[in-house]
Amino acid sequence: MSQLTPWLILIALGAFHGLNPAMGWFFAASLGLYRKSRRVVLISLIPIALGHAAAIAVVVFAVVGLGMAIDAGTFRIVSGLLLIAWGIYHWLYGHQHHFHIGVTTGLLGLGVWSFLMATAHGAGMMLIPVLMPMEHAHHAGHAGGHAGHMMATGSFAVASLAVLVHTLAMLIVTGAIALLVYQSSGFEILKRSWINLDLAWTIALIGMGAWLLLF
């Protein structure tokens, strides 16, 4: 795997999150239509992105800390089992954790809702297989006499950049779809043609967990 591949996967996962209406664009477009303002659509993207980034960061930084505390093989097994367990849980009970907001909600409420939705979907956990090669490349590059503190600082810097790149990709796709739906009032079309992204997400979680265990 080249050093560029994990970053491309991060961008792809961010775009996938952006496609999912449960991650934000549906509510950004709804708020804009309710208040008859494209500006509201754009402003709504800010708390949606911040909430998503916060949910991702909580998991990512915890993973970095855990990864420095245990050996790579054990970490890989734990991560794989965690992803599979969360995927199965999401498949069985995910529909019970759709947090509802109204079209009169404020920006703070929208940010909290975005955080809860991303957490419930296990969005941060999906980044674990991507972070592992990044951490390996970083540690290999700093091997040979560098202090552990410097390695830890660098690890968190890489993790922070990963959160930023992922969130920007998610924000761009979310914003594009929200504006498109706002301009065309396309909710009825989406109801008939939108694919089951929750099922796709569940399969992706379990698949990535299995990949960590088997390869």
Average pLDDT, integer, range 138-154: 46
The residue with greater pLDDT, 8 or 83, is 8
pLDDT at 54 over 70: yes
- The rounded mean pLDDT for the chain is 76
Q: What is the pLDDT of residue 94?
A: 61
Q: What is the pLDDT of residue 149?
A: 41
Q: How confident is the model at residue 144 (pLDDT cuts 50, 70, 90)?
A: very low
Q: What is the pLDDT of residue 147?
A: 40
pLDDT at 198 over 70: no
Q: What is the pLDDT of residue 173?
A: 95
Q: What is the pLDDT of residue 191?
A: 52
Residues 6+ positions from 206 with CB-CB distance below 8 Å: 83, 84, 87, 88, 91
